[in-house]
Amino acid sequence: MALKDSPEPYICPVKQLEFTLNTTRTCTSCGAVVFGQEKYNHLSLSLSAHLRHSLEHYFMPSPLECKCWDCSGSMASVSTHFLTLPRVLMLHVKRFCADDWEPKKVEDPMFIPEELTLQGLCGETVQPGDSTIDSQRVRSLGNNSVVNTPPNCPSSSASNGSDQQAKAADREKRQQTATVRYQPEPVYRLSSVISHLGDSLYTGHYITDLLDSHGSGWLCMDDARVRRTDVATVLRTRAHTAYILFYVGSGACEGDQAPKMQN
């Protein structure tokens, strides 16, 4: 008797939305650096005139009040970039704000591009084991690593050739066995727009414009009503109402390593 084919393992759809951000926290007093990694499945963006501007604002370095473990300094600069990329990038636009402690709907227009790249939002950071870091100055904290070496400060172990060769061999081994794949920077194309129609947080209606996966074009889904539309109409009419955007990456799979910035 022939055996039935085994069912394919279940894969949660949210996996396609997941990505990892790398955070670099630099003490403004002594230059000590803390690297951290955190998984996300969406980004919440402040509303601006262009979606690209909102993305860039999210990744801008920002000051942070925190205590340095090395010098007890109280301020640091925090910067973030993509470490891995999602198959589907979900972007939430903050269309509600607090006005005198009351939520207010913001209907300012935002330009929504049909194509989106993450150029300038991906970068490389020095990781523990690199030859520029003294191994005696690195402490591991779960997913974080603390480097107590100020920027551009030479490592005290740089003169030890055997240590450098061992570190280089270890890096090469880790790169060869890494499960994260490196891919060229993908182009993300708009695939769906969820819009909020209404004047306030407490009233309104949600509709969805989406690109039909079967290739028949764009559809506008409004409860039981489904009608055909096109991308030009979506980009024009949803500029004031877009609330959640979905972009699908071409040539990207969940977990792909983010491309590094070119010097």
Q: Which two tokens stand for residue 228?
A: 């055909």
Q: Of residues 133 and 42, which shows the higher confidence score?
A: 42
* pLDDT given at position 206: 94
**Backbone dihedral region of 224: left (phi > 0), alpha (psi from -120 to 50 degrees) or beta?**
alpha
| Residue for token pair 């589907």 | 88
Residue 235 has pLDDT above 90, yes or no: yes
Residue 90 has pLDDT above 80, yes or no: yes
**Alpha carbons 190 and 236: distance in angstroms, whole number:** 14
- pLDDT band at 200; cut points 50, 70, 90: confident
* 86 within 8 A of 256, measured Cβ to Cβ: no
* 168 within 8 A of 158, measured Cβ to Cβ: no
User: pLDDT digit string (tens) for 207-216?
Assistant: 999 998 777 7
Helices (H), 72-178: 161-177
Residue 262 has pLDDT above 70, yes or no: no
pTM of the shown model: 0.71
The domains located in the chain, with CATH, are 13-257 (3.90.70.10)
* pLDDT given at position 245: 97
CA torsion angle 216 217 218 223 (round to 10): -10
Closest CA to 184 of 116, 257, 124: 257
Q: Of residues 163 and 189, which shows the higher confidence score?
A: 189
**Alpha carbons 66 and 144: distance in angstroms, whole number:** 16
- pLDDT band at 41; cut points 50, 70, 90: very high
Q: Of residues 162 and 37, which shows the higher confidence score?
A: 37
**Alpha carbons 249 and 82: distance in angstroms, whole number:** 14
User: pLDDT digit string (tens) for 144-164?
Assistant: 444 443 333 333 343 444 454
Average pLDDT of the chain to the nearest whole number: 76
Q: Of residues 25 and 104, which shows the higher confidence score?
A: 25
* pLDDT given at position 142: 36
**Alpha carbons 200 and 160: distance in angstroms, whole number:** 65
**Alpha carbons 21 and 24: distance in angstroms, whole number:** 10
* pLDDT given at position 10: 77
Q: Which two tokens stand for residue 10?
A: 């279940």
User: pLDDT digit string (tens) for 5-32?
Assistant: 667 777 787 889 999 999 999 999 998 8
* pLDDT given at position 8: 73
